[in-house]
Amino acid sequence: MLIWLKIASRQGKSLQEAQAANTSSELPLWAAFFEWEMSERQAIHYYLAQISRDIRRLFSKHPKRIKLEHCLLNFKSRRDRSRDLRSTQEISMSFWLGVTGLGGRVKKGE
């Protein structure tokens, strides 16, 4: 439902008008477009990153080490976030199994 609202907002139409003007087969294309749009960097992003970098350099012990890339925001897709979550869960589980001494006794999936 949220994607229909985003489409309606983008097209400047009401929700009902957007649903009538677009087919459900176009939804994956719209979703891919919105994901691409979120990850696409524009000139304003680099400008704001430069300001952020310069402010960080004022308070840093080693200002030359702070690069522009450190201040640019990266947005991950849902697939990347789910992979990161799974790896984080596996690391957390292995840590706690090691702490409790159960690491060698419990098989994965149990």
Query: Could you read off the pLDDT tens digit of each residue along the chain, which spans 110 residues?
Result: 788 899 999 999 999 999 999 988 888 898 888 888 877 888 888 999 999 999 999 999 999 999 998 888 777 666 666 666 667 777 777 777 777 777 655 455 55
User: How far does Cα 108 stand from its chain's mean position?
Assistant: 28
Residue 104 token pair: 């060698």
- Is the separation of the CB atoms in 18 and 7 below 8 Å? yes
Distance of alpha carbon 5 from alpha carbon 13, whole angstroms: 9
User: How far does Cα 8 stand from its chain's mean position?
Assistant: 23
Residue 70 DSSP label: G
